[in-house]
Structures are given as structure tokens and as C-alpha cells.
Amino acid sequence: MKKRTVVIGMSGGVDSSVAAIELQRQGYEVIGLFMRNWDSFADGEMDGAPTTKEGICPQEVDYNDAKKVCDKLGIPLYRKDFIKEYWDYVFTYFLDELKKGRTPNPDIMCNKYIKFDMFAKEAQKLGADYIATGHYARLKDGKLLKAVDLNKDQTYFLSQVSKEQLQNVLFPIGDMLKSDVRKIAAQYGLITATKKDSTGICFIGERNFTNFLKNYLPNQAGDVVNIDTNEVVGRHIGLMNYTIGQRRGLNIGGTEDRMFVVGKDLSKNILYICIGEDNDYLVSDSCVVDTLNYLKDEKVIECNAKFRYRQEDIPVKLEWLDNEVIVRYPQGVKRVTPGQACVFYKDDECLGGGIIKEVRKNEQKLWYL
């Protein structure tokens, strides 16, 4: 019998490396595909994109590492540019959301439009019966489930991937702990065994976020105002550089109290802060969620939700409207942020999610968000 063919996204990291090993162990014919989603050289002309001490772009380092892993495992590796598609569907969305004063999550849209759409179509050209990635997640009986390693679970980032897109998808390391993933990579002598996990937004990498962003959105400095006293306490460097709940990087002197970003006024170019993490301005009790991607046939009324990655599950009640859902959490939750994903869960099952459109308290939209 002919082996079933799996095309796996090889990122040059340890997770996809061990996912490829697991697929081989399970008897699949494995093909690697490396995605190039960003032209680092182009934006490097503007802001000095980072390079290694050898002068190599990190994206090329990742490709070289993926090639070494595939060579060692006897897997062919193909390379495909999705630069235009990434710009059109992910980066443009990212900039548009920032202009609205929201906090977008481009990785979620990358999964929706690139990894489980464009990538899947390219994989079909290579004869794929399945596609696979190194995500920490599980699929069982058509259900998207949290990973065994809850500290690494990535279902939050898969919340915009549709039921149709999840067909014929494999997550080979969803049942594994991260520590075991690294042990297996070390046993196979892979170059990625001790490689540092990538952090932050992929197209920014290790660069300073503010320096990168000013290439695309001009900085417009403005006042920082204490929302409790209406006192101007400093200057900000552009509203798009801040997110709700942010504490670090405010660079406002004159007080030893901990300050948090609590809101933005785009029309007046004001950044609002509050003093203390227990400040009532940080708390909301409901939000409106749109851009819905729901993975179940029946709509639940009570479930859990996450409003940001790594947040503990929060009990919520859902009021379904035509194209939106009102999410209620009367116990109050801090730092719920427009533009971020709200993801629904029932125990370990991810039910899908949407994007936070507005945040409310006592049935009223918060004026400062």
C-alpha cells in the first residue's frame, strides 16, 4: 500500500522538527515546506533589519536550519514565498487595526489566511493527503482540543481557522510536553534541539517595535492623561505603540506608583493611564465580539473564554446576535482589549472565537476604549 503523504510546515524551530520525526514514526511519507512570508531585506533598507553576526537575515537562518533538519531526516524540503499574500491579508489588517486604536493579533490571521489556506493549497500541489504543523493543539473526532502541555497550548491562535480548514490536518506534537520535544530533538542530534523559541510578531522579530512601526505609520506624539484626575502626566510617542493594560515602557517619571494604559482618545490623540492594577477603569463586565468563527453546530450559552493568550479560562455567558455575540462576565475582568481575540472553550475543547469589537461596563460602551 502506498504511504499517505503529509506536507509539514518546517519553520526552522524545534517544534516543527520533532513534528516531522513523529510523522515519520507513524509511517507517513513526509515532505517539508518552508514559508517565506516577509521580505526582511526590503524593510531592512529602512530600519536596519536585524542580522546575525555573520550578516545573515534570521529568516535565512531559519531556512538553513530547516534544511539541515530535513537533510538529516531524509525529508525533501521545498520553499515557497507568500510575501504578497501575507502583506494583503495579514500586514494590511495589522496596520488598519492599529490606525483604529486597537490591538491586533497578526498571528491569528496568519493561521487563517496563510498557514491553513495558501499553504494548504501549495501542499496539495505537492501531493499532500494531509498537512501538518508544529502547533501545540489536538484534533480528535473533529474537535479542536487544547494541547496536553497547557503552558504551550496554541488553540487561541487557531481560533479563526474554520472547520473546513481543519479537515485533513495533523498536529503531531499536541500530545507532548515541550520538555519531551526538546529531548527527542537532542536524541536525533538536530541543530534545533536547543534553539531559542521565536517570540513576538514574526515580521518584527527581535527589532524594536516602535522603530519598526514608524516605517509604516507616522508617530504623532500627544498627551498622557491620568484618567482619575484629568491631569496631564507626560507625553506619548504615538497611540499605536500602546495597548490596554500595558505597564512597561511608558517612560513617565514623577511617581513611584504603578501606572497602566487604560484607554485612548483617537480624536484628541490622548493616551489615558490609571494608577494601580486594581483601578476600576481597568475592569469591564461584557464585550461585543464580531468576525466570528464558530466550530460547533449548536451555539452554547454558557462556556469559558480567554481574552488574551495564556489567560486562565473565565466563565462567561453568550448572547448570540446575527453577526455578533455579546460576552458577559459579571464577575469583572481586567484589560479586555478591542482588537484582540476572544476564544471560547468548553472544558478542553476550543469552540472557536472572534475579535473584540467593543468593551462595556453596566451595559454601556466604555468611552475611553
In this prediction, residue 48 has a pLDDT band, given cuts at 50, 70 and 90, of very low
Question: What pLDDT digit, counting tens, does each position of 158-209 carry?
Answer: 999 999 999 999 999 999 999 999 999 999 999 999 999 877 676 766 667 7
Query: Would you say 246 and 264 are in contact if contact means Cβ atoms under 8 Å apart?
Result: no
Overall pTM > 0.95: no
Structure confidence at residue 209 (pLDDT): 79
According to DSSP, the β-strands at 169-170 and 130-132 are parallel
Q: Domains, the chain, ranges and CATH? A: 5-187 (3.40.50.620), 219-275 (2.30.30.280), 280-365 (2.40.30.10)
Active site (catalytic) residues: 110, 202
Q: 254 pLDDT exceeds 60?
A: no
Least confident of 37-46, 191-200, 324-333, 348-357: 37-46
Edge-to-edge strands of the sheet including 29-36?
77-81, 29-36, 5-9, 130-132, 169-170
Question: What pLDDT digit, counting tens, does each position of 12-26 carry?
Answer: 999 999 999 999 999
Question: What pLDDT digit, counting tens, does each position of 101-150 carry?
Answer: 999 999 999 999 999 999 999 999 999 999 999 999 999 999 999 999 99
Edge-to-edge strands of the sheet including 231-236?
231-236, 222-226, 270-275, 259-265
E strand intervals along the chain: 5-9, 29-36, 77-81, 130-132, 137-140, 143-146, 169-170, 222-226, 231-236, 259-265, 270-275, 283-294, 302-306, 314-320, 325-334, 341-346, 349-361, 364-365
In this prediction, residue 53 has a pLDDT band, given cuts at 50, 70 and 90, of very low
Q: How far apart are CA 112 and CA 81, in angstroms?
A: 17
